[in-house]
Chains A and B, each alone.
Chain A
């Protein structure tokens, strides 16, 4: 893992990519920090870091697009996959290299509370809680980018898809308001999801019977639960969609709460993305 970690880190700093990423993050946060915290003398970082989250939509795809797609295009993955290293080591080595690059501007952001404390009282605990949440959110975004880079050979496609996914996640709070909170809306949405699940199963296992069985069982369970206790479905679709709302899980951190469930959420997102990345690399060998 160390070999790959070192190599990635070196490659990002021998090309412009690493510097551009760091520069961009520092530029955007610096502008908002100056506007909100210095000029308006607001003593907390919550508004500042909440306002800059849009920059991940651009910065993360640019950072992650080549990480695995390029290995495949240049066929250097032949070296990695025929060397005595585990696929997990390859993926984690690359992910941690990206996290390290991202950690550099975050360390600089850690100086902001110290700067603010020169001019008044600042709650250090709250300030650093916001920064921890900000760091975790960025890492989760990077993990998504790493996964998407592993499914394609083209950097451009990887960047565009990553942007799309992060964008949808970014506006998820708004999307979930399209749906009414009534129980019947959730029921219909869940039923559609079960159908999609059944289609995925049919695609994966090429078995119609399993797909139909799962689909039918799912629909029946949904209808039974709805008949028995329809209140369980109220605003259900909103809850479901909030799983994909990464920025929403940053809200508690932003209000200065060290939110363990939020941290666990981000770590789970990272874990799931890493697992999917490993699977997509392993799966390619069978095609």
Chain B
């Protein structure tokens, strides 16, 4: 179990992580979600004891990561953003070094190396120099390093970045499997990845925790944010009063339509009530033809964007970057 209490990290005047509070329970897969620069890596580096926090504390099974470092670090396997590999070693030499570094008893070392290599499927590469491996294999060797010694908690910082779609699926499968026996924390700026793999999502923006829930609950919240988009031909006043007279209508925004003599409406209903049929008959009765009717549901993507957008002093460039990036990710997903 990890307890993060009031964690703050400042670099000079810049606050990278701003008062994080959360608890990681055993045996689940957690996803850290946030745009680039949200403080995910910084938080992970603090949880693993690589950097110290400005204030606040991290407890791993009750051991403080700074004061009781050796004991606390025994519970953790960490794959940083850039896998910590020695390029001049072969895969096997590297894993032999790691297994000793993680203080695995001598008798178990060889069998553990074999097991781990089997799990991440790098057995056929064991005698290759790490510098000659492809990015995907390097990532897997890094992953092997993180699960070596079978620590209770496995922390993975953007484990699928830069991999091809097939490798992404393989790594995700592996993470899911690891989640059966370990607590796994992974970070990502790809929403679909987190919702596909994780039992629980922590959304971070500007160093703050903006939401934490299961992906299902987050989706449910997203669906509550529905709206019915309409283009109706006719007099605006007639149409608005007709729609208002319907049951369950909560709120409505009205716009001048691009089409001549038409009105664009966006209607929100109470309790997700579906009023499409009533609306159709009502308009038919009044001889106002409906030219377009579309039920819009907010996706997890929208929730994510809404939560992580800059609150004040909007930094446009950062936002655009985020948008294009999520666009790219979508392309990526369609490749799958």
Contacts and interface: CB of A to CB of B under 8 A. Distances in A.
B101 A79 contact: yes
Contacts of A83: 73, 98, 101-102
Interface string B94-109: 0001101111000000
A85 B72 CA distance: 11
Contacts of A74: 84-87
B88 A11 contact: yes
B101 A82 contact: no
B73 A7 contact: no
B73 A76 contact: no
B82 interface: yes
Interface stretch (B45-53, B117-125, B158-166, B247-255): B45-53
Contacts of A79: 78, 84, 98, 101, 145
B19 interface: no
Contacts of A4: 101
Interface string B46-77: 00111110000000000000000111011010
Contacts of A80: 101
Nearest to B145: A79
Contacts of A2: 100
A76 B89 contact: no
A4 B48 CA distance: 20
B3 interface: no
Nearest to B94: A7
A10 interface: yes
A11 B73 contact: no
A81 B50 contact: yes
B80 interface: yes
Contacts of A285: 50-52
A96 to B, nearest CB: 15
Contacts of A85: 70, 101, 103
Nearest to A10: B93
Contacts of B73: 82-84
Contacts of B51: 285-286
How extensive is the interface on chain A, given as a class?
Answer: 20 to 34
Contacts of A10: 89, 93
Contact of B86 (A3, A76, A78, A81): A76
A40 interface: no
A82 B89 contact: no
Given A6-B97, A83-B102, A84-B73, A78 B85 contact: no
A14 B50 contact: no
A82 B85 CA distance: 14
Nearest to A14: B88
Most buried by A among B52, B74, B145: B52
Contacts of B50: 78, 81-82, 285
A239 interface: no
A209 interface: no
Nearest to A15: B88
B52 A286 contact: yes
Contact of A82 (B11, B76, B97): B76
Contact of A78 (B70, B78, B97): B78
Contacts of B84: 74-79
A86 B80 CA distance: 20
Contacts of A84: 69-71, 73-74, 102-103
B153 to A, nearest CB: 11
Interface string A53-84: 00000000000000000000011111111111
A82 B80 CA distance: 10
Contacts of B52: 285-286
A15 to B, nearest CB: 6
Interface string A1-21: 011101100110011000000
A208 B244 CA distance: 71
A146 to B, nearest CB: 18
B156 to A, nearest CB: 13
Contact of B89 (A11, A78, A286): A11
Contacts of B82: 75, 78
B91 to A, nearest CB: 14
Contacts of A7: 86, 97
Nearest to A80: B101
Contacts of B71: 84
A218 B2 CA distance: 49
Contacts of A15: 88
Contacts of B11: 287
A76 to B, nearest CB: 4
Interface in A150-185: none
A75 B80 contact: yes
A11 B82 CA distance: 21
A7 B84 CA distance: 14
Contacts of B80: 75, 78
A4 B100 CA distance: 9
Of all A-B residue pairs in the complex, the 6 with the closest CB atoms, nearest first, are A3-B100, A79-B84, A82-B48, A76-B84, A285-B52, A84-B73
Given A74-B84, A76-B84, A84-B73, 16 more contacts: A2-B100, A6-B100, A7-B86, A10-B89, A74-B86, A75-B80, A77-B84, A78-B50, A79-B98, A82-B48, A82-B49, A82-B50, A82-B76, A84-B102, A84-B103, A285-B50
Interface of B: 11, 45, 48-52, 69-71, 73-74, 76, 78, 80, 82, 84-89, 93, 97-98, 100-103, 145
23 contacts: A2-B100, A3-B100, A4-B101, A7-B86, A11-B89, A14-B88, A74-B84, A77-B84, A78-B80, A78-B82, A79-B78, A79-B84, A79-B101, A81-B50, A82-B50, A83-B73, A83-B98, A84-B69, A84-B71, A85-B101, A285-B51, A285-B52, A286-B51
